[in-house]
Amino acid sequence: MGLGPKWEKNNYQGIIEAVTGSGKTRIAHEAMLNHLKLGYCVLIIVPTTALLEQWRIDIEEMEDTYIKSLINSGQLELLGGDNKPNLRHWRILISTVQSAMDRNLPPQGKGGLLIADECHWYGAPKYSKALKEPYLRRLGLTATCERNDDGIEKYLYPYFGGKVSTFSYSDALAEKVISPFKFSFFGVELTHEEREDYDKCNFWCWKYKKKLIENYGVVEKPFGDFFRTVSLLKKNGNKDAGYFLSNFTKKRKLLAKTVNKYNSISNLADIIKSAKRTIVFSQTQDASEKVIEPLKNKNINADFIHSGMNEWDREQVLIDFKTGDIDVVAAPKVLDEGINVPSADLAIIMASSKSKRQMIQRTGRVLRKEEGKIAKILVMYAKDTSEDPESDANECFLEAITNAVGEDNIRKFDDNTINDLKDFFSPIDKNNKKSQNNNNYSHGRVIMY
């Protein structure tokens, strides 16, 4: 994947939408280096201080003598957190969106290139103020260009001049920039009490969804458009929209803490032990702490990170994960965007998300290219709920996955078919008749679309 002529033909403006793990940062480095050598300055906007540090590290590790000369002469500055930059003398400025939006940061030198990492963030009205008009060359980077409001159309497209490139799973596999992968769903039953609570919330969601469609003309599909419109209605004081979103949130929290997901995680111990490293994505901080206990009981070295921890403790967990002192790290949203995570080949997602962007970000954590690696992705879900892959909760995301890897590499399992899941995830033996393209797995149920 490269910048290509479309960005140049669009007056060096545009958004690149590419699945996580396919090399967006490398593209940004290419654009940055080319413009620096032409005399431009480069402003890089990021949503978090963790990404601020990540960008600094990545730039300092670039093998280019010109970049190194700028760094050595003090022309790489950081704005955000506890940093105190010299804003009168810089060629590369990395800033958090919070620090950039209320400051005047004029280009220095011949002109300015603005790189907006995770640019979907800047569709929010206050964050859009970080998109500086004097920077006439503009590059937005995102895994999926979508939001639950009208911020894409209102702020991002006008500023960046629309999307100039889309790089899907199929594209990334075809160009061999991500690892081949297998994708599985693992179903659990709700408890009796959970089922009652879920059905109650689901009924009210259905009732208010029906009213919103019939009385306010809200379009039902795709869900992202429906949710975006409902969120705007609530913001404008619509009570039916508020009731829908309240029950939707209750339902999502219930599914995130389903008891049998935690009961079943220990049954996956053999699969986790056979993986190089495993990342478990939870929905909440409490869940990230809770999920490691059954793994520790199976003699698996596991730990958690979340935004409630201090930065040093989070960094130490990732160091231990990289060195092999920890085999499993559990985390909620803190690992979703941008942070470089040590190479892992198994991702366990505790709750299927209706956000296509979040699913792409999470799966991308294990798809980074590594010689001989076949990545494994397991999504836990509560049966007969909106998480069930036979519902349309992840229709767009699953379509993208299916188009990339084919139906034979997407299966459903549960506690009764653990051995079949092990077989599905087992390394491919070149001397064996099994291959990625055949269908010798008779027990896992194929999901047909």
181-190+259-436 CATH pick, 3.40.50.1820, 3.40.50.300, 3.40.309.10, 3.30.70.580: 3.40.50.300
Q: Is residue 388 within 8 Å of residue 198, measured between CB atoms?
A: no
4-167 with 181-190+259-436: one CATH topology?
A: yes
Supply the pLDDT for residue 432.
38
Domain borders along the chain are 4-167, 181-190+259-436, 192-256
Q: Using alpha carbons, select from 158, 91, 82, 93 the residue that is nearest to residue 119.
A: 158
Q: Is residue 362 within 8 Å of residue 334, measured between CB atoms?
A: no
Supply the pLDDT for residue 437.
36
- pTM of this structure: 0.75
Angstrom distance (rounded) from CA 39 to CA 23 = 25
Kindly give, in sequence order, each residue whose CB lies less than 8 Å from that of residue 186, ignoring residues fewer than 6 positions away: 264, 268, 378, 379, 380, 381, 412, 413, 414, 421
Supply the pLDDT for residue 68.
94
Residue 257 exposed, middle or buried by CB count within 10 Å (0-12, 13-18, 19+):
middle
Q: Is residue 362 within 8 Å of residue 347, measured between CB atoms?
A: yes
Supply the pLDDT for residue 393.
54
pLDDT in 10s for each residue of the chain, 449 residues: 556 678 999 999 999 988 877 778 888 999 999 999 999 999 999 998 888 988 999 999 998 999 999 999 999 999 998 888 988 889 999 999 999 998 999 998 789 999 999 999 999 999 999 999 999 999 999 988 878 778 899 999 999 999 998 888 788 888 887 888 888 889 999 999 999 999 999 999 999 999 999 999 998 877 777 888 898 899 899 999 999 999 999 998 898 888 999 889 989 999 999 888 898 988 788 888 888 898 999 999 999 888 777 878 888 888 898 888 999 998 886 565 556 676 788 989 886 655 666 677 777 767 777 777 888 989 898 999 988 887 655 555 667 777 777 777 788 999 999 999 999 988 543 333 333 333 332 233 223 22
CATH of domain 4-167: 3.40.50.300
Supply the pLDDT for residue 154.
92
3-state secondary structure the chain: CCCHHHHHHCCCEEEEEECCCCCHHHHHHHHHHHHHHCCCEEEEEECCHHHHHHHHHHHHCCCCHHHHHHHHCCCEEEECCCCCCCCCCCCEEEEEHHHHCCCCCCCCCCCEEEEECCHHHHHCCCHHHHCCCCCCEEEEEECCCCCCCCHHHHHHHHHHCCEEEEECHHHHHHCCCECCEEEEEEEECCCHHHHHHHHHHHHHHHHHHHHHHHHHCCCCCCHHHHHHHHHHHHHCCCHHHHHHHHHHHHHHHHHHCCHHHHHHHHHHHHHHHHCCCEEEECCCHHHHHHHHHHHHCCCCCEEECCCCCCHHHHHHHHHHHHHCCCCEEEECHHHCCCCCCCCCCEEEECCCCCCHHHHHHHHHCCCECCCCCCEEEEEEEECCCCCCCCCCCCHHHHHHHHHHHCHHHEEEEEHHHHHHHHHHHCCCCCCCCCCCCCCCCCCCEECCC
Supply the pLDDT for residue 123.
92
Supply the pLDDT for residue 339.
61
